[in-house]
């Protein structure tokens, strides 16, 4: 009887038990892996956001409170925003490879919750809170000089302190009004 048993395959019940155990393990492990991925993205977003806010504050400190969205003459220059933070500048904000200030950010980060090529892009407006419309990875308020994530996912509790209760007025201010803004 032992010789006959050695040639037989698994029974249907044995296979069903093994598959049931594997399904239970998958039900336990898969959600944890998915949550771990979202938690890693959120952690990366928080780290990048903290770094960007600190470096923008340092830029403003070294450039007479002028934000990196302004050129050396005080004119609005949003295309030069990332270049001013990743490159070198003079104390007046002029991009200069031999400048004494910067670079503040070695590589511009992408928002891990952003999609495609827009994850590293920055939207600029006067409102202190981003619209969270997923059109760009980042949002920069030209009035407050604070950067925020512009994605719906992963941005919970990342708004600048004290602005959640403020009514958002998206009226664009003229450049003369923005130059001396904090």
Contact 149, 137 (CB under 8 A): yes
Check residue 164 and give its pLDDT. Answer: 52
The answer to whether residue 105 scores a pLDDT higher than 90 is yes
Question: For residue 117, which of 134, 100, 142, 92 has the smallest C-alpha distance?
Answer: 134
Query: Please, which pLDDT band fits residue 57 given cuts at 50, 70 and 90?
Result: very high
Q: Per the structure block, which two tokens stand in for 4?
A: 């006959």
Band of pLDDT at residue 108, cut at 50, 70 and 90:
very high
Q: Is the pLDDT of residue 55 over 90?
A: yes
Residue 2 lies in a domain: no
Q: Is residue 3 part of a domain?
A: no
CA distance 126 to 68: 15
Domain count, the chain: 1
Quick one: tokens of 141?
A: 């308020």
Domain that residue 129 falls in: 12-179
Q: Assess if residue 69 is contained within a domain.
A: yes
Residue pair 62/51 in contact by the 8 Å Cβ criterion: no
Q: Examine residue 4 and state whether it is found in any structural domain, yes or no.
A: no
Q: Is the peptide bond before 103 cis (omega within 30 degrees of 0)?
A: yes
């Amino acid at each position: 009887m032992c010789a006959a048993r050695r040639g037989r395959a698994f029974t249907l019940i044995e296979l069903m038990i093994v598959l049931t155990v594997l399904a239970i393990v998958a039900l336990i492990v898969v959600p944890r892996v998915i949550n771990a991925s979202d938690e890693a993205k959120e952690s990366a977003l928080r780290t990048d956001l903290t770094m960007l806010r600190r470096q923008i504050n340092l830029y403003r400190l070294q450039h007479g409170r002028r934000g990196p969205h302004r050129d050396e003459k005080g004119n609005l220059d949003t295309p030069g925003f990332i270049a001013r933070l990743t490159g070198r500048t003079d104390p007046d904000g002029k991009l200069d490879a031999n400048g004494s200030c910067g670079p503040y950010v070695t590589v511009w980060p992408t928002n891990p919750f952003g999609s495609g090529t827009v994850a590293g892009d920055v939207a600029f407006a006067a409102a202190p809170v981003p619209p969270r419309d997923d059109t760009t990875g980042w949002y920069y308020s030209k009035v407050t000089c604070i950067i925020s994530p512009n994605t719906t996912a992963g941005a919970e509790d990342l708004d600048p302190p004290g602005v959640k209760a403020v009514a958002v007025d998206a009226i664009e201010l003229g450049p003369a009004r923005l130059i001396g803004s904090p």
